[in-house]
A and B are shown apart, each in its own frame.
Chain A
């Protein structure tokens, strides 16, 4: 069995400003890589000729990943009454698209559970925020008005989950550069009354959404996903066809921050776009979404506590 390739993120010392996309990517000596198995599963699920047994077989080649996927599949969140013992069984019970999201979440866990010191996020804080956003985005994709979404580009619950999971990955790369300049960025945001993201761009030359999109492209993830990450604070600025996905990500991020899940030193200095809520046909229904999402979170505690058992 091949061991999981733990995503690594080795970043050099803070670069001189302004940062650029190219210099940032160069500064990351070893880019965090999605394990090959996760990428393979992502591709196979989109191939209509591939069956459940093949997906299960591919995941099973990675022992650590298999254990994590099974742990997620058996969490209360998925509500399976009996114990799932094998990945093949998980694929059959939960479906290939759910297994794809579980595989990606399990693969990203080693990266996202780390402390992100530049943003004052402790160990597991970014993981909690990311997995909560993923679940919230999934809820939003299911609740969005189909007519509204059809004009913005299709948003499937599993796409929304992945975008929610990865939307803040750029914070991992930007953290070391932000750290020593954090006060400068925060004061700029407070003084000029601008979102933290804009202050990042003004001071550092690059914001965490741009950094995240660059990483997604480096991982060869779909362009729609990279665009949703790039525009998760400005969803209507996404390319035509990706607006729906960017909107679900923006609202999920805003709701999770508002509920205090994974709030870092940048606090709530980010915006939830009214236009995004309207675009998904959810005006006046956000309290209802928040209520349902909170109920789902009760079942998701085992996902948050992933590290204890993984």
Chain B
């Protein structure tokens, strides 16, 4: 999903995002899942490359969550998992992990508003092949969502640039900063989801 790089000029809405200091930014690290009911929380995935920030919100239950998905699937190694277990390290495990965490907090899967951000690609190599983690992440996430009967409401995916993604728990706004370029509001995951970004 190759996208036009966003312009350097911030959008009017993103530029006037107010009162950040009154809110609390919760970093969602690589492979982590965060779910919150606190309206003052802003869930943030920093420095997304080929990773995907899966942002979900149930406007009725006022529950928001984010999974920072890193790789499409657990590699077939035949051995034990290496390192600490992270719920969203792999897309095929991260999607149900986030859904279940949301449901435990009172969200209903069929009410969820969903946005996907990230999945950038390394530039094609001389040989024409590429480390295709971003595209494979997209495919596995979409398949896992489809299996649960939910679709996405907004997305900012692909390209060759890094992103930082915020999900505001209060109203469901998704703010995407393209590293070295602009910050803009992609969508609002509200009762009636609105996509404000040009990628939707």
Query: B63 on the interface (CB 8 Å rule)?
Result: no
Q: Which one, A84-92, A99-107, A264-272, is touching chain B?
A: A264-272
How long is the Cα–Cα vector from A288 to B72 in the complex, in angstroms?
11
Q: Is the CB of B160 within 8 A of A272?
A: no
Given A269-B123, A271-B125, A295-B83: A259 in contact with B77 (beta carbons within 8 A): no
Nearest B residue to A183 via CB reads B8
Given A264-B179, A269-B160: A257 in contact with B122 (beta carbons within 8 A): yes
Chain B interface, DSSP helix/strand/loop, else mixed: loop
Q: Is the CB of B131 within 8 A of A272?
A: yes
Q: Is the CB of B180 within 8 A of A294?
A: no
Using Cβ atoms and an 8 Å threshold, which residues of chain B touch A297? 30
Q: How far is the CB of A62 from chain B (nearest CB, A)?
A: 33
Tell me the count of chain B residues lying within 8 A, CB to CB, of chain A.
43
Which residues of B approach A to under 8 Å, CB–CB? 5, 8, 30-31, 46-51, 70-75, 77, 82-84, 89, 118, 120-131, 133-134, 159-162, 179-181
Q: How far is the CB of A137 from chain B (nearest CB, A)?
A: 16
- Among B89, B123, B129, contact of A268 (Cβ-Cβ < 8 Å): B123
Which residues of A approach B to under 8 Å, CB–CB? 119-120, 182-183, 186, 190, 195-196, 254-255, 257-275, 286-288, 290-292, 294-299
Q: Is the CB of A260 within 8 A of B5?
A: no
- Among B47, B82, B118, B121, contact of A291 (Cβ-Cβ < 8 Å): B82
Q: Is the CB of A295 within 8 A of B84?
A: yes
Chain A interface, DSSP helix/strand/loop, else mixed: helix
Q: How far is the CB of B64 from chain A (nearest CB, A)?
A: 22
Q: Is the CB of B130 within 8 A of A272?
A: yes
Which 5 A-B pairs rank lowest in CB-CB distance, beginning with the nearest? A295-B83, A265-B180, A263-B162, A260-B49, A267-B161
Q: Is the CB of A292 within 8 A of B122?
A: no
Using Cβ atoms and an 8 Å threshold, which residues of chain B touch A196? 123
Q: How far is the CB of B50 from chain A (nearest CB, A)?
A: 5
Name which of A196, A260, A263 has the most chain B CB atoms within 10 A of its CB.
A260
Using Cβ atoms and an 8 Å threshold, which residues of chain A touch B8? 183
Given A255-B131, A267-B179, A295-B84: A260 in contact with B77 (beta carbons within 8 A): no
Using Cβ atoms and an 8 Å threshold, which residues of chain A touch B73? 287
Given A257-B49, A287-B71, A291-B71: A267 in contact with B131 (beta carbons within 8 A): no
- Among A258, A265, A271, A275, contact of B49 (Cβ-Cβ < 8 Å): A258
Using Cβ atoms and an 8 Å threshold, which residues of chain A touch B126? 271, 273-275
- Among A271, A291, A295, contact of B124 (Cβ-Cβ < 8 Å): A271
How long is the Cα–Cα vector from A110 to B133 in the complex, in angstroms?
33
